[in-house]
Amino acid sequence: MAGCEHRQRGGIAGLGQLVREHRGALSRDLIEHGLRLRDLGGERFDWSDLRDFVAYTPLDSALSAELAGWTRGVRYQNLVETATVNQLRAFQASFTGTKPSIIDLLRTATDSGRRYRKLPISELNKRIGWQ
């Protein structure tokens, strides 16, 4: 996943690693859906349920925000506004035949596009034109 510094494993081992590293955010999202981590492995909530929950977690979830390195101050509204700006840029570029400059809030390349760092809120505000 995007916010983890080391290599991710797959299967139950990978889910276990995700739970250990992002317990708070995952718990918050599960509670919002009437689930608890302590129920994991039971009849009501098994590992495949957790896999599906994580795979389809929405961008405005606590888990997605933590994996992307966002602080609690970054809201879903920023994603919507950024998506709108990106759509407008793409629309404008369609008339000129140029490649649009797309804002990517999820990752920031630091060297050769291979390593990523957390995006500070001040830099995010500059990217979306609020500063």
pLDDT in tens, 102-125: 777 655 444 444 455 667 777 777
Long-range contacts of 76-83 (CB under 8 A, 24+ apart): 78/105, 78/124, 78/128, 79/105, 81/128, 82/128
Q: How much is the pLDDT for 1?
A: 43
Q: How much is the pLDDT for 4?
A: 44
The mean pLDDT value for 47-63 works out to 87
Strands (E), the chain: 109-111, 115-116
Query: What is the value of pTM for the model shown?
Result: 0.51
Q: How much is the pLDDT for 31?
A: 93
| Separation CA 78–CA 107 (nearest Å) | 15
